Amino acid sequence: MVLKQLQRMGAATIHTIAGLGRAGLMLLGAIIGKPSFRKGAPLLLKQLYVVGVLSLLIIVVSGLFIGMVLALQGYTVLVKFGAEQMLGPLVALSLLRELGPVVTALLFAGRAGSALTAEIGLMKATEQLSSMEMMAVDPLRRIIAPRFWAGVISMPLLAIIFTAVGILGGHLVGVDWLGVDAGGYWSAMQANVDLYQDVFNGIIKSIVFAFIVMWIALHKGFDAIPTSEGISRATTETVVTASLAVLAFDFILTALMFGG
Amino acid sequence: MSTRKIEILVGLFVAIAVGAFLILALKVANTGFAGSGDTYTLYAEFENIGGLKARSPIKVGGVVVGRVAAIELDKNYYTPRVRLEISRQYDNFPETSSVVILTSGLLGEQYLGIQPGFIDETVHILKDGDMIEDTRSAMVLEELIGQFLFNRD
């Protein structure tokens, strides 16, 4: 009985570590090596379109609404203290430091990550990956690498757009609807937001999240059991694991950047 | 979809992102005194700095001329020593100037106010690394309330 329990625990540990190892090998195989821009650029461009441009709409719309909700909620609290001038910093700092990178990463995991997992899982199920290997084309370099880099490039850009649109949305509600002074909104924001401390740290966060989300999505697809059930499970796992990993890393990064 | 169209759309995407970054950098963040810029350093010692923090603004007549670079404690006298970084643009404060820790509003954040002093032949202009002698400490609300309570009888 005890032995059986012990065996199960050991098997789970070995399984986890083997998965991590496979994920690491996949990433190494994909990103390490001589880059060939002539062959890589069109592939990367295609993926930038699929992963970045097609995610733009959901990012812009949710950024706008999150900024508007932040302004509305912040205003109702701040007005009790007569501090509605601080609405600008409230909206800008919460978007720049937290909501911009994190919500973008979560949306990105749902919008692009799940699609990538399903795509690669299906490629594996239909043995496209094996046939590529037969033709001496490395699927890691041909399939994984462009998708990975496209995600890592486009997610920070999406987070920046999200934040900017959110701040404009906050302006829309705070200034145009609730009547906070426009000059105060911007000047209090400028007095409290620092380019290095807030803007750059937010972008760094976003790059880290992009790494995590893309790595998990690609690995789950590459490692999926090549059946329809396996692909569906891999897609679910991508969204769940990537979201949890993003939130956990967000806490660590926040503690490192703003905790001290 | 043709490659050309994809290229245009990706280009547009990057352009929007660059535009958004410019909004963040220029309109949202304070690029004025964010970087090292061209500044010079002055020192001032206070008895009590209250809630002054590094990066608090330094104002002359309400205009931001610099930021507090660092606050440390003098080891011999246990008095706070504040390092001021002031823009080169404003480099002609006489040594008779005084520094005060002020509060914006009753409960707002604290900042340093410089009151420029008089100039005549014997007065030097403050240079990089100089110490401003004439300082006034922060108004600590609790101390004021304490004084008020004990002086009442």
Burial A125-141 (b: 16+ CB within 10 A, else e): beeebeebeeeeeebbb
Looking at residue B111, its pLDDT comes to 85
Facing residue for B25 by CB, picked from A56, A189, A195: A195
Contacts of residue A92 in chain B, CB cutoff 8 Å?
Answer: 28
Looking at residue B34, its pLDDT comes to 45
Looking at residue B1, its pLDDT comes to 65
Query: A181 vs chain B: nearest CA distance in angstroms?
Result: 16
Contacts of residue B56 in chain A, CB cutoff 8 Å?
Answer: none
Report the distance separating Cα B96 and Cα A185, nearest Å. Answer: 37
Facing residue for A190 by CB, picked from B3, B16, B29: B29
Contacts of residue A158 in chain B, CB cutoff 8 Å?
Answer: 17
Look at B30 and A190 and tell me if their CB atoms are within 8 Å. Answer: yes
Looking at residue A152, its pLDDT comes to 92
Report the distance separating Cα A5 and Cα B152, nearest Å. Answer: 74
Query: At residue B36, does pLDDT exceed 60?
Result: no
Look at A49 and B21 and tell me if their CB atoms are within 8 Å. Answer: no
**Does the CB of B56 have a partner CB in chain A at under 8 Å?**
no
Query: Chain A: residue nearest B12 by CA?
Result: A53
pLDDT in tens, B40-58: 898 998 888 887 877 788 8
Per-residue pLDDT of chain A (260 residues; tens, 9 = 90+): 888 999 999 999 999 899 899 988 888 888 877 777 777 788 888 889 999 899 999 999 999 999 999 999 999 998 888 787 788 889 999 999 999 999 999 999 999 999 999 999 999 899 898 898 899 888 888 888 889 999 999 999 999 999 999 999 999 998 889 888 777 788 788 878 888 888 899 999 999 999 999 999 999 998 888 888 999 999 999 999 999 999 999 999 999 988 76
Q: At what angle do helices A228-258 and A201-222 cross, to 10 degrees?
A: 160
**Does the CB of B4 have a partner CB in chain A at under 8 Å?**
no
Query: At residue B32, does pLDDT exceed 70?
Result: no
Q: Calculate the dihedral angle through the C-alpha atoms of A71, A72, A77, A83, rounding to the nearest 10 degrees.
A: 50
For the whole prediction, is pTM greater than 0.90? Answer: no
Contacts of residue A189 in chain B, CB cutoff 8 Å?
Answer: 28
Probe site for chain A from B24, B56, B59, B63 (most A CB atoms < 10 A) = B24
Query: Chain A: residue nearest B15 by CA?
Result: A157
Looking at residue B30, its pLDDT comes to 66
**Does the CB of B48 have a partner CB in chain A at under 8 Å?**
no
DSSP annotation of B94 reads: B
Report the distance separating Cα A94 and Cα A74, nearest Å. Answer: 11
Looking at residue B131, its pLDDT comes to 87
ipTM value, please give it: 0.78
Query: Which is more confident, A232 or B118?
Result: A232
Count of A–B CB contacts within 8 Å? Answer: 74
Looking at residue B145, its pLDDT comes to 85
Residue where the block lists tokens 């195989």: A29
Looking at residue A260, its pLDDT comes to 64
